[in-house]
Amino acid sequence: MNPLRLVRVAAIARIGIGTALALGAGPLLRASLRDETPSGSFILFARTVGIRDALFGLGCLLSTLDADGPEETRRWVRLWLANEVADVVAAAAMAQRLGGAGAATAASLPLPLIAADIWALRHLAGERGQSA
């Protein structure tokens, strides 16, 4: 698989998911939290996370279009990786409030993304000086 293509697909997915969360946080949260109604502050928080993800995706996607700057794309992927590792740590830290199973589920969600980031970084490093 082409690592630049993988990064672009991930970037487009982030833009889509982030935009959906930013524009539709209320309905999305109500659908996922069937037993409770999300508060206004929780909806606002979810919107800000959506905006962040959409902008992360857009920044990375734009970096992949510059054939002369592969280091910029690696920088964005490293930011994604740091964000996803922080998500795992945050989920693990919430084990007492979420329960072991809930924290394990939340911590496991970013793991495939972490693996994809590491794979992309290793393979993008081999593309220095090559056009995409």
Rounded average pLDDT over 16-33: 90
Instruction: Specify the pLDDT at position 129.
Output: 44
Instruction: Report pLDDT digits (tens) over 76-127.
Output: 999 999 999 999 999 999 988 888 888 898 899 899 999 999 999 999 865 5
DSSP string, 75-109: HHHHHHHHHHHHHHHHHHHTHHHH-HHHHHHHHHT
130: pLDDT strictly greater than 70: no
Instruction: Report pLDDT digits (tens) over 33-47.
Output: 778 888 999 999 999
Rounded average pLDDT over 124-132: 53
Distance CA 80, CA 18 (A): 14
Distance CA 87, CA 108 (A): 10
Distance CA 48, CA 44 (A): 6
- The residue ranges of every structural domain in the chain are 3-125
Other CB atoms closer than 10 Å to residue 7's CB: what's the count?
A: 26
